[in-house]
Structure 1
Amino acid sequence: MKILFLAHRIPYPPDKGDKIRSFNEIKYLSKNHEIHLACLVDNPDDLKYVNPLRKYCKIVNVAFINSKITKFKAIFCLLDKKPLSASYFYSKKLQKAINYLLLTNNYDAIICFSSPMAEYIFKSTNQPINQSTKLIMDFVDIDSDKWKQYAKYTKWPFSWIYKLESKRLAQYEKKVAQIFHYSIFVSKKEAKLFYMQNPDIRNILAIPNGVDFDYFNPYHFSTNNLSQPTTQSTNRPINPSTSYPMLLFTGAMDYYANVDGVVWFCKNIFPQLIEKFPELRFYIVGRNPASTIKEWANHQVIVTGYVEDIRPYYQMATIYVAPLRIARGIQNKILEAMAMAKPVVSTSKAFEGIEATPNKDLLLADSEKEFIEKITGLLQNPEKRKSLGISARQTVEKNYSWQYNLKILEEILAS
């Protein structure tokens, strides 16, 4: 089959949530189909990743958007009825490229990754999209609900803007689902919630994420074979050491949900843990740390910035923490930690959508008190840490194989 794949961000490298999913979909489909990719780039450094994608895509069309300018322009869309997300991820240059692809190709399927990419289909109605072309939307998660959560944790006027975006995006998501033939979500819970909000929509399916078990494998991994981790800001070596207990969080550190959760943890939880465990360290690993994250950096809170290989940090961590108060879908960071056989302490929000058993595969904590109790218990009990880690690894091996989970996408194409 010939497939047009539209993505709101270049799906490479697969080092963060949305890119991990979109890249693995393309990689899987490219084995049996011809993929034409059209996507956006909001970081000029990512332009160098176009060539690696040509291994999987016959055609790669990329349009650069300046995030600062685009955000400014999106503000004027408050006067419009469209969601800001659709305006932010819209590029006239990419629209022209997509129009040409639709004019010169008969596609068997068009896959849009993230709801704003539907705008390119809506604005290409004059192009000859074949009646038999399957329109597949991978919503990933319900973004409108995420904006609703943002509104809860921010002050006016942003709380008002986020609440308005949530309402508009929910209406837009419904419109997309009515027009597209299939609506895909990252978990059964996410798919069920969308159906409850839109009971008239049919063909709502869940395709869970996966984990690269060979790459994230604690049993076939040695930190001795890797270059020493360095900080993004200074390029100086960072030395995670097993000589002291180490908590770990990973993720894009300019992403609001991550920033909110980590600041909450640093402010309200970690100081109380230090009183009990003076040698304890908290590593915050991920690109583009916000200023509010950097403010917490000291000899016990280590902010690394971007790292080439995240596995040394997983390997050396005593406990992985996911203190996210805002979350939707599946948190890949948790799956990776579980694949590395690490004990995980997570909020219920961050755990939502993950097929695992609390108290067997990981621990849940939502309040400051619960986090302190669960982490303290694990730090004092090596056997419990080991048993949780082993069970976690077995669970993700069972439930999160890319090869197995993406068979559903192949079945949709064949239907």
Structure 2
Amino acid sequence: MRRPAMRIVCLFHRTPWPPDKGDKLRAWHLLRALASRHELDVGWFVDDPADRAAESVIAPLARAHAAIPLKRLPALLRGASALASGGSLSIAWFRHRGMRRFLAEALDRGIDGAYVFSGPMAQYPTFASVGAPARALPFVTDFVDVDSLKWRDYAAHRRLSALALLHACEGRRLAVFEGVAARAAQAALFVSEAEAERFRALNPDLPAGRVKVVENGVDADCLDPAVVRPVAVGDGPLIVFTGRMDYPPNIDAVRWFVDHPWPDLHAVCPGLRFAIVGAEPTRTVRRLACRAGIIVTGRVADIRPWLARADIAIAPLRIARGVQNKLLEAMAMARPVVASPAALEGIDARPGEDLLCARSADEWIATIRGLLESPEKGKRMGERARARVKERYGWDAAGNRLLEIIETAFAGDREGRRI
């Protein structure tokens, strides 16, 4: 039997729309799932002017809402001050009185609990209280990935540099907060069992069952190559990488690919092109377009035409956490996918059947050449990939899982007992 509707405040570190990248895809679909059954107050930070139009889309889902500007310079100053005084850059970056005020107003209106998206956003409900006598606010944190380990990965790739030391320091400090937040929450959510296991290993004292998994999904009807017209970019085979191009792991991935496998691939196939498709390319990424055969698109309205045109989709990530939606999207579009071991972690697919894995530059060269020389092999692999995604991944299942966790967590508090 369906439980009665609850009043839930939802806090997001970024605008949960449009669903055009990994964290926004997850945020949007899970927000819609919550709104389908419960009454929501929704607050989010706006750090990109292009996201201002989202308010008109999100507002109808909410009883109350707030789009709070997050300006880069003040956030950077808060983060630098925190690092200098023993705190976490990430926590300080997303510390904002506007979000505290929105949560306080939601508490005044009356709520049953909070859902917060991204670890640093857990600072808000962790230190909030409700009722008289005061009691802790029940909440669920969707960490998605173990962000503290991502900072440690950054440090490992930078090696002996001042930036590596800063990244390692942030990783340690953020890990401490993640543990505190998970102990205060009713549930700590992660995108894959692999990420959940890492978090359990870092926090072995957490109560059994506190750490849970809510996987990502794919809209296979939207990502259907039969209904998408490929982008017109001339003749010849095309390799595509998709992702936001001011994100350090994506920058590292395309730089490595261009510096290592690409020269040999382009030498044996001069008509081959490599398209880097994604918003906000840094100067480093834009300069790659000076190399023969490389296209840097910048922001595109829709990545599907690029995937529809691609002969091969790649993910040569050396730093990766959680589930790479770029892989699921390419698979749903029936593209043959080549990915690094790091990118494949968390994807429930069969290497060699549904997609291909490559490690060294030589493996990347051989794997891509094999697909280029045997288009039928790639076509069959793409068909298997799409079938796998349709069978295994769906946003309805993810939304229902989140609803089950939230309703169980907050129901006990409604009855006057802390879960």
Same fold? TM cut 0.5: yes
Give the structure 2 partner of residue 204 of structure 1.
211
Give the structure 2 partner of residue 124 of structure 1.
128
The counterpart of 1:140, out of the listed 144, 166, 176, is 144
Letter aligned with residue 264 of structure 1: W
Letter aligned with residue 339 of structure 1: A
Letter aligned with residue 240 of structure 2: L
Within 5 A, what are the aligned runs for 1:13-412? 13-105=18-110, 107-125=111-129, 134-154=138-158, 156-202=161-207, 203-223=210-230, 239-241=232-234, 243-298=235-290, 300-412=293-405
Letter aligned with residue 221 of structure 2: D
Report the Cα distance in structure 1 between the residues aligned to 2:305 and 2:297, rounded to whole angstroms.
13
Q: Please report how far the alpha carbon of residue 36 of structure 1 lies from its aligned counterpart in structure 2 after TM superposition.
A: 0.9
- Deviation sequence 1:5-43 (CA, Å, 0-9, x none): 011111111111111111111111111111110111112
Report the Cα distance in structure 1 between the residues aligned to 2:182 and 2:133, rounded to whole angstroms.
17
Deviates more, 1:75-84 or 1:269-278: 75-84
Deviates more, 1:38-47 or 1:392-401: 38-47
Letter aligned with residue 41 of structure 1: V
Report the Cα distance in structure 2 between the residues aligned to 1:320 and 1:384, rounded to whole angstroms.
14
Q: Taking structure 2 as the reference length, what is the TM-score of the superposition?
A: 0.92
Q: Please report how far the alpha carbon of residue 404 of structure 1 lies from its aligned counterpart in structure 2 after TM superposition.
A: 1.3
Letter aligned with residue 141 of structure 1: D
Q: Please report how far the alpha carbon of residue 307 of structure 1 lies from its aligned counterpart in structure 2 after TM superposition.
A: 0.5
In structure 2, the gaps of 5 or more residues are: 1-5, 409-419
Letter aligned with residue 98 of structure 1: L
In structure 1, the gaps of 5 or more residues are: 224-228, 230-238
C-alpha distance 129-351 of structure 1, shift in aligned 2 (>3 A)? farther
Q: Is the 8 A contact 1:240 1:313 kept in 2?
A: no
Q: Is the 8 A contact 2:78 2:89 kept in 1?
A: no
Report the Cα distance in structure 1 between the residues aligned to 2:137 and 2:156, rounded to whole angstroms.
40
- Deviation sequence 1:86-139 (CA, Å, 0-9, x none): 00011112211211211221x222101011111112343477698596410100
Q: Is the 8 A contact 1:38 1:61 kept in 2?
A: yes
Report the Cα distance in structure 2 between the residues aligned to 1:128 and 1:28, rounded to whole angstroms.
31
Letter aligned with residue 77 of structure 1: A
C-alpha distance 296-29 of structure 1, shift in aligned 2 (>3 A)? same
Report the Cα distance in structure 2 between the residues aligned to 1:406 and 1:346, rounded to whole angstroms.
27
Count of residue pairs brought into register by the alignment: 399
Report the Cα distance in structure 1 between the residues aligned to 2:49 and 2:311, rounded to whole angstroms.
36
C-alpha distance 378-36 of structure 1, shift in aligned 2 (>3 A)? same
**SS at structure 1 position matched to 2:322:** coil
Q: Is the 8 A contact 2:126 2:184 kept in 1?
A: no
Report the Cα distance in structure 1 between the residues aligned to 2:23 and 2:38, rounded to whole angstroms.
22
**SS at structure 2 position matched to 1:330:** coil
Q: Taking structure 1 as the reference length, what is the TM-score of the superposition?
A: 0.92
Structure 1 runs, 4 residues or longer, greater than 4 Å off: 126-133
Q: Is the 8 A contact 1:62 1:94 kept in 2?
A: no
Letter aligned with residue 248 of structure 2: Y
Q: Please report how far the alpha carbon of residue 219 of structure 1 lies from its aligned counterpart in structure 2 after TM superposition.
A: 2.4
Q: Is the 8 A contact 2:46 2:68 kept in 1?
A: yes
Report the Cα distance in structure 1 between the residues aligned to 2:41 and 2:387, rounded to whole angstroms.
36
Report the Cα distance in structure 1 between the residues aligned to 2:407 and 2:7, rounded to whole angstroms.
12
C-alpha distance 5-329 of structure 1, shift in aligned 2 (>3 A)? same
Q: Is the 8 A contact 1:37 1:61 kept in 2?
A: yes
Report the Cα distance in structure 2 between the residues aligned to 1:127 and 1:8, rounded to whole angstroms.
26
**SS at structure 2 position matched to 1:199:** coil
Q: Considering only aligned residues, what root-mean-square deviation do their CA atoms show, in Å?
A: 1.7
Letter aligned with residue 353 of structure 1: G
Q: Please report how far the alpha carbon of residue 3 of structure 1 lies from its aligned counterpart in structure 2 after TM superposition.
A: 1.0
Letter aligned with residue 204 of structure 1: V
**SS at structure 2 position matched to 1:87:** helix
Q: Is the 8 A contact 1:108 1:132 kept in 2?
A: no
Q: Is the 8 A contact 1:134 1:413 kept in 2?
A: no
C-alpha distance 129-304 of structure 1, shift in aligned 2 (>3 A)? farther
Report the Cα distance in structure 2 between the residues aligned to 1:320 and 1:52, rounded to whole angstroms.
31
Report the Cα distance in structure 1 between the residues aligned to 2:125 and 2:162, rounded to whole angstroms.
32
- Deviation sequence 1:194-222 (CA, Å, 0-9, x none): 11221221321111101111110112333
**SS at structure 2 position matched to 1:296:** helix
C-alpha distance 394-130 of structure 1, shift in aligned 2 (>3 A)? farther
Q: Is the 8 A contact 2:125 2:137 kept in 1?
A: no
Q: Please report how far the alpha carbon of residue 164 of structure 1 lies from its aligned counterpart in structure 2 after TM superposition.
A: 0.3
Report the Cα distance in structure 1 between the residues aligned to 2:113 and 2:126, rounded to whole angstroms.
15
**SS at structure 1 position matched to 2:61:** coil
Report the Cα distance in structure 2 between the residues aligned to 1:130 and 1:381, rounded to whole angstroms.
67
